C-alpha cells in the first residue's frame, strides 16, 4: 500500500473497529495485486514476448487506473470518517471501494495467469533455444542485425541479439508448442491462452478461431457476425482471384480450339517468359492487327484533359511498327477507369483518340462501341494503314467478368455472354498483340480471351519481360532488393521469393514498423500489421538460412499529425517511438546506410517507397534512395523500378531516363516478382 494511504491509516488509528476491519480487507486486496508472484512472473518475461501480444500492457494499464481510483477513494473514505461526513456519502464510497477491490483481485488473477503461462512457454523451450543459438549465431551475425550501424550500447546490443536468436528458432519453438496440453491451447493473433472476454471469427476455416478483445482493438464484443481482419483480407484476395479464374476458366478449351502447338501453357518462370512471341517475330502485312493497349491515362480534375500522356506515347512504337510493316488496319483496344460494366461518358476513350491524332499526325477512326456489327463493319471497311480505336472495353461487364451495383454488391457476368463478347473481339483482328503490361495480371477478356492463332507481345511488354527475366534469373551480383509498402502480409509472398534470390534485402516503408515491433521496439501509433507480425520470425530465420543480409531502418522521422505541415522530429531505434507519434519516413542515418548498400550492389530491384512520399517533408528518404540508385546506375549497376508508387517517386523527380528500367505495371510487376504466372503473358504464343 502507498505511503499516503498508510499515513491515512495511522491518522485514523482511533477509528471504530468496523472501519479498521473494512480497511484491512482493502489492504489485503491491495497486497494481492502487488504479490511477489505477479512481480516475478512479469520480470521473467522477455521484452519481445511481453510486448508482442500487448495483452499484459492492456491489463496492466486497466489495473493501474483501477488502483489509482482505489487509492483516491480510500483516502476520501478515511477523511470522511475523520471529518464526520454524513454516512450516506461514506457509504457510497465504501460500496465503490468494494467494487474497486473486486476488480483489482480479478485483474490481478488475470495478469498472473498470462504472465505465468508465458513464463512456462519460455521454460519449456529454453533448451531448444540454447541448442539453436550455436547453430544460428554465425548466420545471424552475417546481415540479420537491423541497420548497418553498430550499437554502442552493449546492453541494447545483447537484448537485440537475444531477440533475434529467439526468432531464428521459431520453428523449434512451434514444434514444442504442439506438444502442449489441450487445456493450454493458443488463440488469437498473439498466440496466447484463452482468458477474459473473447470473440470468435465466423469463418470456420479461420486459423486463429478466437480473439482477445484487446488484440483487435475492441472494448466490448461486437453484435452480430464477426470476421477477423486476416479472414477478411483472405476473402477479398480470394474474390479477386475468383474473378480472374472465372474470367479465364474456359481458356484451356479456348486454347485447344486454336490449332497451334505453341498454345501449351509455359512453365511459370521468367526465362520462359522471355521466349514468348513478340511483334517482330510475326508477319503483320495485310493483316488486321488487334492491339491491347493501356490507355488508362490520368485526367486533370479541373479541365478533364489528359494530364500525363505517357502511356499513349509508350504505345506509339508498337502502333507505328504495325503500320510501317504493311498492316491492313491497326485496331486498338483499352480500358479507362472503372465504369462498372456500363457506358459512362466520363471514361470515354474519345479524348485518347484526340491525343493519338496529335501524336501521330493522322486521322484516328473512333468507334462508339468496342463490339457489334457496326464496329466490325468499320474495322473491315477501313482504308489500308488506318488506325481504329475502340470505345472503352469496360463499358461491358463481360470484359472484367463482374461489376458492382450502387450498394457495392458484386454482380457476375453470364458466362455465355462473356464467351460471346470474346468471340466478337476476336472477329476484329487476324493477329493479336498485347502491349498492356499493367493489366497482364488480370484474366480479362481482352487479355486472355482472344481466340486468334498468333498472339504476341508488343514492344512495351517485350521490354518488361526482358528486364525482369534478366534481373530475376541471371542478375549480376551483389543483388539487392528494396521492399516498402504498408503491410508485411500483403508482400509476404514477394519477400519469401526474394529471399531465395537476393544477397541483401532492405525493408522500409510501413512494413518496417511491424519488424521493429517484433524486435521489441516501441512504435507508437505507427502502422502495424498484426497478420504480418506473425510472419516476421519466419522471414528472419529464412534470411539467416539463405545468408541474406536484412537491413531495417535504425532511425525514423516521426510526427503527431498525419500531414505535411505537422511538427516532426527524428528518433533512433534505441529511443523508440512514443505513444501518439507515428513514423512517416526513414531518418538520415538509415538513408545513408541504405545508400551505401545500394551503391555497392550491381543489381537493384526497388518496389515500395521508404515513407509517405506524397508529403514533401516525408519524401526525403525515398528521394535519398533514388539519388543513390541513380549514382549506382551511372557506375554500371542495373536498377529496376517495380512500378506502382515507386514509379511515381521516380516520375515526380523526372528521373525515368536515369535508370535501367521503370516498370509500367504495378500489380503485374508485383505478381511477376512473387513468382506468379501472369494470365496475359502466359496466353501469348511461344516462339517455334
Q: Measured between alpha carbons, how far is 393 from 512 in angstroms, rounded to an integer?
A: 40
User: Count of alpha carbons within 13 Å of 290, Cβ hemisphere only?
Assistant: 25
Which letter does DSSP use for residue 686 in this model?
B
Mark whether 311 is an active-site residue: yes
Task: Estimate to the nearest angstrom the gap between the alpha carbon of 125 and the chain centroid.
Answer: 32
Inter-residue contact 568 to 558 (CB < 8 Å): yes
Inter-residue contact 628 to 604 (CB < 8 Å): no
- B/e letters for 208-238, b = 16+ CB within 10 Å, e = fewer, are bbebbbbbbeeeeeeeeebebbbbeebeeee
Closest by CA position to 534, among listed 141, 143, 230: 230
Closest by CA position to 77, among listed 64, 62, 90, 58: 90
DSSP SS3 for 673: helix
Q: Measured between alpha carbons, how far is 548 from 541 in angstroms, rounded to an integer?
A: 10
All three cell numbers of 220, joined, read: 466490448
Query: Of the residues 524, 532, 644, 666, which is catalytic?
Result: 644
Q: Greatest CA separation found in the chain? A: 113
Closest by CA position to 650, among listed 670, 553, 642, 301: 642
Inter-residue contact 577 to 556 (CB < 8 Å): yes
Inter-residue contact 288 to 328 (CB < 8 Å): yes
Query: Of the residues 167, 311, 491, 620, which is catalytic?
Result: 311
Mark whether 487 is an active-site residue: yes
Mark whether 449 is an active-site residue: no
Inter-residue contact 510 to 528 (CB < 8 Å): no
H or E stretch covering 480: strand 479-483
Mark whether 217 is an active-site residue: no
Task: Estimate to the nearest angstrom the gap between the alpha carbon of 109 and the chain centroid.
Answer: 38
Which letter does DSSP use for residue 193 in this model?
E
Phi, psi of 410 (to 5 degrees): -80, 130
Q: Measured between alpha carbons, how far is 43 from 576 in angstroms, rounded to an integer?
A: 21
Q: Measured between alpha carbons, how far is 494 from 669 in angstroms, rounded to an integer?
A: 11
H or E stretch covering 463: helix 459-473
Q: Measured between alpha carbons, how far is 296 from 277 in angstroms, rounded to an integer?
A: 25
Inter-residue contact 550 to 146 (CB < 8 Å): yes
Q: Measured between alpha carbons, how far is 557 from 572 in angstroms, rounded to an integer?
A: 9
Inter-residue contact 387 to 365 (CB < 8 Å): yes
Query: Of the residues 165, 403, 487, 530, which is catalytic?
Result: 487
Please name the residue that has the C-alpha cell 484463452. Answer: 194
Q: Measured between alpha carbons, how far is 572 from 353 in angstroms, rounded to an integer?
A: 53
Catalytic residues: 311, 487, 644, 667
Amino acid at each position: 500500500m502507498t505511503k499516503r494511504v498508510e499515513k491515512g491509516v495511522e491518522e485514523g488509528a482511533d477509528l471504530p473497529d468496523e472501519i479498521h476491519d473494512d480497511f484491512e480487507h482493502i489492504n489485503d486486496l491491495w497486497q494481492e495485486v502487488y504479490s511477489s508472484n505477479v512481480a516475478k512472473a512479469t520480470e521473467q518475461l522477455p521484452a519481445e514476448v511481453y510486448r508482442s501480444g500487448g495483452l499484459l500492457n492492456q491489463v496492466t494499464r486497466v489495473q493501474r487506473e483501477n488502483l489509482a481510483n482505489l487509492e483516491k477513494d480510500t483516502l476520501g473514505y478515511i477523511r470522511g470518517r475523520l471529518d464526520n461526513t454524513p454516512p450516506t456519502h461514506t457509504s457510497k464510497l465504501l460500496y465503490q471501494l468494494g467494487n474497486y477491490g473486486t476488480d483489482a483481485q480479478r485483474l490481478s488473477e488475470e495478469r498472473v495467469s498470462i504472465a505465468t503461462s508465458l513464463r512456462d512457454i519460455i521454460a519449456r523451450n529454453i533448451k531448444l533455444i540454447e541448442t539453436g543459438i550455436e547453430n544460428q549465431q554465425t548466420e545471424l551475425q552475417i546481415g540479420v542485425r537491423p541497420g548497418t550501424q553498430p550499437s554502442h550500447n552493449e546492453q541494447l546490443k545483447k537484448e537485440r541479439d537475444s531477440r533475434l536468436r529467439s526468432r531464428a528458432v521459431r520453428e523449434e519453438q512451434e514444434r514444442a508448442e504442439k506438444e502442449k496440453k489441450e487445456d493450454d491451447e493458443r488463440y488469437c493473433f498473439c498466440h496466447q491462452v484463452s482468458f477474459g472476454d473473447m470473440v470468435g471469427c465466423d469463418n470456420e476455416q479461420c486459423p486463429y478461431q478466437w480473439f482477445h478483445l484487446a488484440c483487435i482493438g475492441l472494448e466490448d464484443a461486437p453484435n452480430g457476425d464477426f470476421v477477423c481482419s486476416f479472414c477478411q483480407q483472405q476473402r477479398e484476395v480470394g474474390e479477386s482471384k475468383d474473378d480472374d479464374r472465372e474470367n479465364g476458366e474456359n481458356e484451356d478449351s479456348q486454347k485447344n480450339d486454336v490449332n497451334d502447338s505453341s498454345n501449351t501453357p509455359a512453365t511459370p518462370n521468367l526465362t520462359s517468359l522471355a521466349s514468348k512471341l513478340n511483334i517482330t517475330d510475326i508477319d503483320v502485312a495485310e493483316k488486321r492487327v488487334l492491339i491491347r493497349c493501356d490507355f488508362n491515362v490520368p485526367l486533370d480534375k479541373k479541365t478533364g484533359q489528359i494530364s500525363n500522356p505517357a502511356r499513349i506515347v509508350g504505345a506509339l512504337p508498337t502502333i507505328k511498327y504495325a503500320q510501317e510493316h504493311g498492316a491492313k488496319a491497326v485496331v486498338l483496344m483499352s480500358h479507362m477507369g472503372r465504369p462498372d460494366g456500363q457506358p459512362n461518358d466520363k471514361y470515354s476513350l474519345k479524348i485518347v483518340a484526340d491525343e493519338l491524332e496529335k501524336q501521330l499526325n493522322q486521322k484516328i477512326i473512333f468507334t462508339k462501341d468496342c463490339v457489334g456489327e457496326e464496329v466490325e463493319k468499320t474495322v473491315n471497311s477501313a482504308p489500308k494503314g488506318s488506325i481504329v480505336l475502340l470505345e472503352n472495353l469496360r463499358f461491358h461487364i463481360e470484359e472484367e467478368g463482374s461489376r458492382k451495383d450502387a450498394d457495392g454488391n458484386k454482380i457476375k457476368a453470364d458466362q455465355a455472354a462473356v464467351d460471346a463478347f470474346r468471340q466478337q473481339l476476336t472477329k476484329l483482328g487476324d493477329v493479336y498483340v498485347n502491349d498492356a503490361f499493367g493489366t497482364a495480371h488480370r484474366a480479362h477478356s481482352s487479355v486472355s480471351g482472344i481466340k486468334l492463332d498468333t498472339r504476341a507481345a508488343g514492344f512495351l511488354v517485350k521490354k518488361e519481360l526482358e528486364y525482369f527475366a534478366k534481373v530475376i534469373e541471371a542478375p549480376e551480383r551483389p543483388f539487392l532488393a528494396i521492399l516498402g509498402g504498408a503491410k508485411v502480409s500483403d508482400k509476404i509472398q514477394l519477400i519469401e521469393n526474394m529471399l531465395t534470390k537476393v544477397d541483401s534485402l532492405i525493408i522500409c516503408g510501413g512494413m518496417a514498423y511491424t519488424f521493429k515491433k517484433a524486435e521489441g521496439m516501441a512504435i507508437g501509433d505507427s502502422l502495424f500489421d498484426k497478420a504480418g507480425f506473425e510472419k516476421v520470425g519466419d522471414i528472419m530465420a529464412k534470411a539467416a538460412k539463405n545468408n541474406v543480409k536484412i537491413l531495417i531502418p535504425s532511425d525514423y522521422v516521426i510526427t503527431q499529425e498525419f500531414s505535411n505541415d505537422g511538427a516532426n522530429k527524428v528518433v533512433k531505434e534505441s529511443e523508440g517511438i512514443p505513444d501518439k507519434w507515428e513514423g512517416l519516413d526513414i531518418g538520415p542515418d538509415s538513408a545513408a546506410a541504405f545508400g551505401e548498400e545500394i551503391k555497392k550492389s550491381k543489381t537493384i530491384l526497388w518496389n515500395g517507397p521508404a515513407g509517405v512520399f506524397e508529403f514533401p517533408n516525408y519524401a526525403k528518404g525515398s528521394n535519398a534512395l533514388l539519388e543513390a540508385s541513380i549514382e549506382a546506375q551511372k557506375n554500371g549497376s542495373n536498377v529496376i523500378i517495380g512500378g506502382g508508387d515507386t514509379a511515381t517517386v521516380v516520375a515526380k523527380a523526372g528521373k525515368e531516363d536515369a535508370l535501367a528500367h521503370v516498370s509500367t505495371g504495378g500489380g503485374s510487376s508485383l505478381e511477376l516478382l512473387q513468382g506468379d504466372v501472369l494470365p496475359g503473358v502466359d496466353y501469348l504464343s511461344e516462339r517455334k
